[in-house]
């Protein structure tokens, strides 16, 4: 699929990107994590969550006994918005079919959205992060949860306790759905 869409020009983000950021991880993963869009480090390397937020995400995954290689990590947008601005609704709408196709091909048992924008985009709901957290939704037949974005945790360390509660619930849900 990557080779089919890596040269996408459906929105203006193609003009400012360095690298198309498809996603990374196990193509047969039971757990999928979805962020909003690539940042500067991701745009340089072509891989999601590789900067400081990526290191924190790796630590979070290890804390709930996942290795980065066993999950699949993607973003709603595959190209970096200029100056890390929030994705525009039109950009998200243009890129969402790619993400839905990734979900269809990977067939995860559970999805964790990282941050308000990823949650709103995937759930197609105008809810606050507080309203989304702690709940289990369904997207394309897949149980889906929402927690804080790792970059937000770097700026607001007092949110880590809430994130810890969320990811423990996510792991429990994963284990229930996979029989582990």
Per-residue pLDDT band at 16 (split at 50, 70, 90): confident
Q: How many residues does the chain have?
A: 180
Q: Where are the alpha helices (DSSP H) in the chain?
A: 2-5, 40-45, 52-63, 89-106, 116-123, 129-132, 150-155, 160-178
Q: Cα–Cα distance between 37 and 149 in angstroms, integer?
A: 11
For the domain covering 2-178, report its CATH number: 3.40.470.10
What's the confidence (pLDDT) of residue 47? 93
What's the confidence (pLDDT) of residue 84? 83
What's the confidence (pLDDT) of residue 60? 98
Q: Cα–Cα distance between 75 and 49 in angstroms, integer?
A: 9
Q: Which residue has the tokens 């964790």?
A: 112
Res 24 pLDDT > 60? yes
Q: What is the pLDDT of residues 42-92, one digit of tens each?
A: 999 999 999 899 999 999 999 999 999 999 999 999 999 998 899 999 999
Please write down the long-range contacts of 26-29, taking CB distance under 8 Å and 24 or more positions apart: 26/69, 26/70, 26/71, 26/72, 27/72, 27/105, 27/106, 28/106, 28/107, 29/70, 29/71, 29/72, 29/106, 29/108
The answer to whether the pTM exceeds 0.75 is: yes
* Residue of 27, 26, 36 whose CA lies nearest to 67: 26
Q: Chain-wide mean pLDDT for the chain? A: 93
Task: State the average pLDDT over residues 119-130.
Answer: 96
Res 1 pLDDT > 80? no
Per-residue pLDDT band at 14 (split at 50, 70, 90): confident
Q: What is the pLDDT of residues 168-179, one digit of tens each?
A: 999 999 999 999
């Amino acid at each position: 699929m990557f080779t089919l869409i890596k040269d996408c020009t459906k929105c203006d983000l193609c003009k400012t990107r360095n690298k198309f950021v498809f996603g990374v991880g196990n193509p047969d993963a039971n757990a999928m994590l979805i962020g909003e869009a690539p940042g500067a480090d991701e745009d340089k390397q072509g891989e999601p969550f590789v900067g400081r937020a990526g290191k924190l995400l790796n630590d979070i995954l290890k804390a709930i006994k996942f290795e980065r290689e066993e999950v699949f990590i993607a973003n709603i947008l595959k190209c970096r918005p200029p100056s890390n601005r929030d994705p525009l609704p039109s950009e998200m709408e243009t890129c969402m079919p790619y993400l839905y196709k990734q979900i269809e091909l990977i067939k995860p048992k559970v999805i964790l959205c990282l941050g308000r924008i990823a949650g709103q985009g995937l759930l197609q709901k105008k809810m606050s992060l507080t309203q989304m957290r702690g709940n289990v939704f369904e997207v394309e037949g897949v149980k889906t949860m929402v927690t804080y974005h790792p970059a937000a945790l770097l700026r607001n360390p007092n949110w880590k306790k809430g994130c810890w509660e969320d990811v423990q619930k996510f792991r429990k849900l994963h284990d229930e759905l996979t029989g582990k």
